[in-house]
Amino acid sequence: MKLAILGTGKIVDEVLPVLKEINGIDLVAILSTPRSLTKAQELAEVYAINQASSDYDSILANPEVDTVYVALPNHLHYDYAKKALLAGKHVICEKPFTLTLAEFEDLAKIAEQKNRILLEAITNQYLGNFASIKANLAKLGDIKIVECNYSQYSSRYDAFKRGEIAPAFDPKKGGGALRDLNIYNIHLVVGLFGKPEKVFYLPNIERDVDTSGVLVMDYGKFKAVCIGAKDCGADIKSTIQGDKGSIAVLGATNTLPELALTLNNQNMTMINENSLNHRMHDEFVAFQAIIEHEDMTATKLALDHSRLVMEVLDQAVNSL
C-alpha cells in the first residue's frame, strides 16, 4: 500500500507512528490546508514522506499513490473520498463514513464501477477482544439487554458554551455526540448483532447540535441502548446481558481494553485478547492485506457492515 494521508489533525498525529511500523505500508504523501502546510512539511520530514502539499489534485496525480486515507473532518469525507475513487485510488475513510446513507451508497457504487477498494477505518471491528466477544456470545444464552456508554467530557465543550464552535460541535460539519463517540457503540452492537428492527434517537440539543444523546435499537427479542456524551462524563463501560450470563467491556468501545465474562453462579473471568499494539494497528494491518491482495470478498463484508451502520445513523437522524 502506497498511502497518501489527508489531514494533519490529532488522528494523523496518532496514526503516523503506527503506520510507519507496518510492513507493506509506504507513506508517500500528506495533504494539509494551506494554513497547516508547515505542519505537514514537518510531519513529512519526521516520517520520510516524499510529498507534503495543500494541492489535492497534485497528490491524486502522483503515480506512487495507490491508496488515500481520509482523516479529515466528518463533512469532508464524502467529497474527498469520491474524488480519490474517481482518480482510481483505493480509499480508507475515517468514521463516520459519510453524513448520509445516500452519500455512502454513491461512494460504494463508484468504487464498484472503478474496481477500487473502499473501507471504513473503525478500530473495534479489528481488535482481538471483538472476536472474543463474538466467540463468547453463545454462552450468555438469550440476549436481553445491551448497554453501551461512551461519555467523555470534551475539552472543547467549555469553549462551545462560550460560542466558540469547533468542527466537533458544528452541526454543519457533522459534529455532535452521535457521530463522534456514539458511532463506536453503534459499530460494536451492529457488528455483533446486525441490523436492528427499529431505531430511536433521543438527543440533548445545544446550539442545534447533539452534545449528548441516547440511541435505542430494538432487536425484537432484546433491546440495545447506546449512550454517547461530550457534555458530561461517566464510567465508560458496556454490558451485554443474557439469561445465562453477561459480558462487560471495561473501557471505551473504540479500544475494548478488557472484558469480564460472568456466567450465572460462576466466578468472573477476565479476558484480554487484544494485541499489545496501538488500537489502530490491527485495522491497518488488515487494510494493507486487503489492498495488497485486492480481496474483494473482505471488502464486501466490511462495506456491508458499514452500510448497516449508516442505515442506523440515517434512522437515528430521521427519528428526531
Question: Going by CATH, does the domain composed of 125-274 fall within 3.30.360.10?
Answer: yes
Cβ distance 238 to 188 under 8 Å?
yes
Q: Give per-residue pLDDT as tens, 146-171.
A: 999 999 999 999 999 999 999 999 99
- pLDDT digit string, tens, across residues 65-93: 999 999 999 999 999 999 999 999 999 99
Give the pLDDT of residue 319. 84
CA distance 318 to 96: 17
Instruction: Give the side-chain half-sphere CA count within 13 A for 213.
Output: 28
CA distance between the termini of the chain: 41
CA angle 80, 81, 87 (to 5 degrees): 90
CATH placement of domain 2-121 = 3.40.50.720
The pair phi, psi for residue 74, each rounded to 5°, is: -50, -40
Residue 175 phi, psi dihedral angles, 5° rounding: -80, 175
- SS3 string, 3-17, reads EEEECCCHHHHHHHH
Tell me how crowded residue 136 is: count the other CB atoms within 10 A of its CB.
Answer: 17
Closest CA to 310 of 117, 77, 131, 150: 77
Spatial separation of the C-alpha atoms in residues 190 and 181, rounded to whole Å: 15
pLDDT of residue 320: 74
DSSP per-residue letters across 151-198: E---TTHHHHHTT---GGG-GGGT-SHHHHTHHHHHHHHHHHH---SE
Q: What is the DSSP letter of 21?
A: T
Q: Name the one residue in this structure whose C-alpha cell is 510531519.
A: 43
Tell me the mean pLDDT per 10 residues along the chain, length 320. 97 97 98 96 97 98 98 97 98 97 98 98 98 98 98 96 95 95 98 98 97 98 98 98 98 98 96 95 98 97 98 92
- Dist. CA 268–CA 276, nearest whole Å: 23
**Which residue ranges make up each domain of the chain?**
2-121, 125-274
What single-letter DSSP state applies at residue 213? E
